[in-house]
Chain A
């Protein structure tokens, strides 16, 4: 269990908080999505949680132990994937992983295996500086897996990846969850969050404005409606019915009973629509 309680952070020390009273808890083995636009405070929270930034005010506990007391051994248990590809550009992809593995006190994964997992097998001995943006992102992701951590901090792990490669990484993230890892996922991609996360928190201007499972958020903030496509007099027609209204419910039932229905789609709100509704701004 990771607990974050009443977290504040002020970069300049002038009372201008980049993070204001942020609290949440992540049960072991869950994926927690932190959604928000650039500059909302996502990376600040992650950096405090990983010890990169000093804890100024509030509490962060890992299995009940404060981050202030965990010591350097704590880093044997976490894997961090950064948004910006921070690699030794003069070293090859393999060397980047091999040397990083040498810094841990715990058994580490085979760098070659990891590079194969993220579809970099062909570029294993190329220097990281010659990698494309997407390749660098995958290498950074693979590096986060090197020590087989129990907790992952993934900052925009799918940013800049094509759908095919992105789905490979999503499968790896899911498999890590299956294996019992806890994952803190920072993203502004609502589809990624929707697909992967057990819980999402929306952060805007340093504050959490909503937090629940994607399904509950959609139910809570979306309008319950269905779109029905049906055949009438040889033509395909479509109608939207809002299920909270009696007349729409009856109309919908009548269509289903009397017409040749071709498709029925629920019309719940997307996470992005909910975010806009709550904050008045988009996620980009």
Chain B
């Protein structure tokens, strides 16, 4: 353990001296600003339209008291259907009491993923709980009037993929930069003639970047979304994602002698890893090969956690998949470091 902590402290000091902190703070500020700016562009238009069919108008009065725009509260279900037909981004919500039981009907224009439906239902349930002061579960009914529909706002969409890619990119890129720095300075040769070994070398680098990436991501979530997420799940998921990508980045970097040689391949891999964004933005496009890219389960599970969608077993399944990917990446990194970094020549 002494060797591991020695290396960890050494790595930390080197990245500090290489102004990593300032770079990360700049990156964090840039991302926060980007995410902050996104919702403001669409705030002028509220795409949710409500029709309160109850006698007490409890939903309507709640919305009015909460400052909800009056023009988004309509007088009939027909009105809602007209509004939704005109604009595919609109969602209509009707509340009625049938046989003493509350029922929400959500009308949308297109197709929703199960988790998106759950997100809407969870929001309405919360609102209903606040109105009634009880935890009675109302009936929810989903109705679609036309295919192709994306109910999420830009800000909601952006947070999971910003979070996913920012987290994985940090370790993936910077661990390689550290390796090239050691090659350039020749300090890797000194390490080779120490008794410390490959395991400590890999662990010190990957765990350091995992921790830094998780801290970075946590700050990003707090500054863009707030504290109301399942932190245990989010940090575990981002931690293992970063660990996997750092190990994978270490593996890739061992095959190149300089940053310039490595850059094209590294960016090519990042582009490949960004393909699941397409599926994320257009859920109907999810071919099998895209689902095998490690970032695919990460981005969707981050979304689940952030929006508290709570797909049953999804988190554990993703953690299981990522654990397998991480073990494979570790084995590859170990072999590559042993053959490429800890030896010279043939």
Contact = CB atoms under 8 A, between A and B. Distances in A.
Interface of A: 9-13, 47, 50-54, 56, 72-76, 78, 80, 82, 84-91, 95, 99-100, 102-105, 127, 143
Nearest to B19: A90
Contact of A88 (B2, B185, B189, B193): B185
A100 B194 contact: yes
B190 A86 contact: yes
A281 B86 CA distance: 91
Contact of A86 (B185, B194, B195, B343): B185
A100 B197 CA distance: 13
B195 A54 contact: no
A52 B192 contact: yes
B164 to A, nearest CB: 31
A132 B5 CA distance: 30
Given A52-B193, A53-B344, A95-B13, 9 more contacts: A47-B345, A50-B193, A52-B344, A80-B193, A82-B190, A88-B187, A90-B18, A95-B10, A127-B17
Given A75-B195, A87-B187, A102 B3 contact: yes
Contact of A52 (B9, B187, B189, B346): B189
Nearest to B182: A88
Contacts of A47: 344-345
A99 B194 CA distance: 11
Contact of A53 (B10, B197, B345): B345
A31 to B, nearest CB: 20
A133 to B, nearest CB: 14
Nearest to A89: B185
Contacts of A72: 195-197
Nearest to A105: B195
A82 B14 contact: no
Overall SS of chain A's interface: loop
A102 B346 contact: no
Contact of A76 (B5, B186, B195): B195
B7 interface: yes
A13 B346 contact: yes
Residue from the set B3, B7, B185, B345 with the largest chain A CB neighbour count within 10 Å? B345
Category for how many chain B residues contact A: 20 to 34
Contacts of B2: 102
B257 interface: no
B195 A87 contact: no
Given A89-B185, A99-B6, A143 B190 contact: yes
A141 to B, nearest CB: 13
Residue from the set B3, B189, B193 with the largest chain A CB neighbour count within 10 Å? B193
B179 to A, nearest CB: 13
A85 B190 CA distance: 10
Contacts of A80: 190, 193
Residue from the set A53, A99, A143 with the largest chain B CB neighbour count within 10 Å? A99
Across chains A and B, which 10 residue pairs bring their CB atoms closest together, nearest first?
A102-B6, A86-B186, A90-B17, A103-B196, A99-B10, A75-B195, A103-B194, A80-B193, A72-B195, A52-B344
Contacts of B186: 82, 84-87
A91 B13 contact: yes
Residue from the set A73, A78, A82, A88 with the largest chain B CB neighbour count within 10 Å? A88
A10 B187 contact: no
A274 to B, nearest CB: 31
23 contacts: A47-B345, A52-B189, A53-B345, A73-B195, A82-B186, A82-B189, A86-B185, A86-B186, A86-B188, A86-B189, A88-B185, A88-B187, A89-B185, A90-B13, A90-B18, A91-B10, A91-B17, A99-B7, A103-B7, A103-B196, A104-B195, A105-B195, A127-B17
Contact of B9 (A10, A74, A88, A99): A99
Contacts of A102: 2-3, 5-7, 10
Interface string B85-104: 00000000000000000000
Interface string B331-346: 0000000000001111
Contacts of A11: 345-346
Interface string B168-202: 00000000000000000111111111111100100
B108 to A, nearest CB: 55
A84 B5 CA distance: 27
Contacts of A100: 190, 194
Contacts of B6: 99, 102-103
A208 B68 CA distance: 91
B178 to A, nearest CB: 11
B193 A51 contact: yes
Contacts of A51: 192-193
A11 B344 CA distance: 10
Contacts of A56: 346
